[in-house]
Amino acid sequence: MSRTLTTQERPVSRMKPVPMTIESAIDSANSEVEALAEEMTSWADNIEEKFSNTAKYETVRQTADTLSGVNAPDAALAGQHDLVTNVDVTGYALPKRPSRRDRRDYAAALYATAAEALRTLIDDVNSRADAAEIRSEKPEETHEVPEGHENDDAEELRSLVSDLETLADDCESAQSEIEECEFPGMFG
């Protein structure tokens, strides 16, 4: 039995790198998953009457159900804070005439890119929150404060970290779910 390679194992070499924001990467991935779900559901519905007892039908239906059931990350969360909207990531553009598998890999790669950028951002925000806590606990001491961090509020930053962790987890979960999908050929 062949194993489906994950996005990390299979190069995304056919996809051209393009700059984008975390929010646009998640939006693009969500749109592609939704389009694939609709396409696969339509295909399953069209072949159900004649092929409902075949392995191909089962694969198509299972893929349609999986894609339809993906808990899409909320890209709007990425656009609610300046710290997140100012982060550029390297996303991807689909190749010309992409297959369903290419489109699935595209969405998975975007989810992975967004999650990785969010994890890096979480580390940075945690460091800022730690520094803000130290400044608030010992205001009498002189602290070296990086430019732009003077008004950091530790509680606010911890809340942001929680939101970012949820979003990163959702991206990783969606990536994992869609990587399980199989796309049989038209004739076998």
The pLDDT value given to residue 186: 65
pLDDT of 95? 81
Task: Tell me which residue range forms the domain holding 96.
Answer: 16-138+149-179
Residue 16 DSSP symbol: E
pLDDT classification of 139: cutoffs 50, 70, 90: low
Residue 72 lies in a domain: yes
Q: Return the pLDDT at 76.
A: 85
Percentage of residues of the chain with pLDDT beyond 90: 55
Q: Does 187 reside within a domain? A: no
In a domain, 53, yes or no: yes
pLDDT at position 3, please? 37
pLDDT beyond 60 at 177 = yes
Write the CB contacts of 145 (distance below 8 Å, at least 6 apart in sequence): 131, 135
In angstroms, the CA 167 to CA 79 distance is 12
What does each C-alpha distance from 127 to 55, 122, 147, 154 come to in angstroms?
52, 9, 15, 10
pLDDT above 70 as % of the chain: 82
Amino acid occupying residue 88: D
Q: How confident is the model over 64-122, as pLDDT tens digits?
A: 999 999 999 998 887 777 778 888 898 888 888 899 999 999 999 999 999 999 999 99
Our count of domains for the chain comes to 1
Residue 8 domain-assigned (yes or no): no
Q: How many CB atoms lie within 10 A of CB 111?
A: 31
Cα atoms in the Cβ-side hemisphere of radius 13 Å centred on 71: 9
pTM of the model: 0.84
Task: Please provide the average confidence, as pLDDT, over all residues in the chain.
Answer: 84
d(CA 106, CA 169): 18
> 119 in a domain, yes or no?
yes
Task: Report the pLDDT value the prediction gives residue 134, as an integer from 0 to 100.
Answer: 74
pLDDT band with cut points at 50, 70 and 90 for residue 144? low
Could you give the CA distance from residue 109 to residue 6 in angstroms, rounded to a whole number? 10
User: Which tokens belong to 31?
Assistant: 């749109």
Give the span between the Cα atoms of 38 and 41, in whole angstroms.
5
Question: In this structure, which amino acid lies at residue 141?
Answer: E
**Token code pair at residue 180:** 């399980």
pLDDT beyond 50 at 1: no
